[in-house]
Amino acid sequence: MLLVQTDSSLPRAFSGPVNPPPSVPPIDLTPPTQAQLSRYLQLIQDSKTEIRASQFYKGLLRHAFSPTASSFTEIIVYGLGSLQASGALQVRYQLALATLLLELLNSPSTSTSYNTTPPKNGRITSCKAYDPIFTPLDTAILQAHDIQILEINEHGRRIAHAKTFFFMPHCESSLTEALLQANVEAGTLHNVVILGNAFSLYVERWPRSSRDSYNGTVERPNLLLELCERGVVEEIGIPEAGFPVMSAFSSLALHTFKAHQ
């Protein structure tokens, strides 16, 4: 069965949707002005300051990152959305969190702060992102934070040849399912760590007795459910702890996978 760990000192608050309906607005291809770029960079910096001071972030570091903080060689950001689309406030806070985690995992002090061993070169190999609705402004903002843009749509089927952190808050279950399938087939699932929608919510939505292929408009994530049932998945719930922008971090959990299952 799925092994779920939660922070007992904070209320578990998985109040957001497991799969928000995708929004595909027209993409603004206009290059950003310097004033526009500076404004958004400051907004993200302000969001980082707010997150860093929050109980949500402190709980995330205390309970989700102390065992594994420095072991990643790559961060992949899927399905972030656009700062110029609907839901941009949520996107801004999620991007701010991604940049904070990138800074944390690249910090030489990570080993002393979180009782872990730093990478030999002291840095993550790379951080890359993809969303089909990224605009030139999004690209510029990401690159300003040392996040590269993946040139092709991998549809989630990225094989983790080394320990890889997948940042996927509120991504559709079909994307997570594709990621799991690719790494099960390659025998690399043990290298995958996912920060995304809590798998336990999918287990609640599709109990073992249910044979429904769909729940509402969401297709049943068969492999995800099978891995949970076999006890391959370890989930650490991340309570939002009263964070003021609930839509940004609701229903999140960190997921790791046992080897040789």
Query: What digits encode the pLDDT tens for the residues 28-65?
Result: 788 999 999 999 999 999 999 999 999 999 999 887 77
pLDDT value of position 139: 97
pLDDT single digits (tens) 80-137: 999 998 879 999 999 999 999 998 888 765 443 434 444 444 557 789 999 999 999 9
pLDDT at res. 29: 85
Each residue's pLDDT tens digit, 215-239: 556 688 999 999 999 999 999 999 8
Percent of the chain with pLDDT over 90: 63
Rounded to whole angstroms, the maximal C-alpha distance in the chain is 56
Contact indicator for 146, 123 with CB cutoff of 8 Å: no
CATH of 3-13+35-112+127-257, one of 3.30.70, 3.30.930, 3.40.50, 3.30.160: 3.40.50
243, 78, 37, 83: which is closest to 167 by C-alpha?
Answer: 78
Which of 78, 87, 94, 77 lies closest to 25, judged by CA? 87
Q: How many Å apart are CA 83 and CA 90, to the nearest integer?
A: 9
* Cα gap 181→157, rounded to integer Å: 8
- Looking at residue 247, what is its pLDDT? 86
Which amino acid does the sequence have at 65? F
Q: What is the pTM of this model?
A: 0.84
Compute how many other C-beta atoms are within 10 angstroms of the C-beta atom of residue 184: 17
For residue 200, give Cα distances in angstroms to 139, 180, 224, 231, 243. Answer: 33, 16, 10, 12, 21
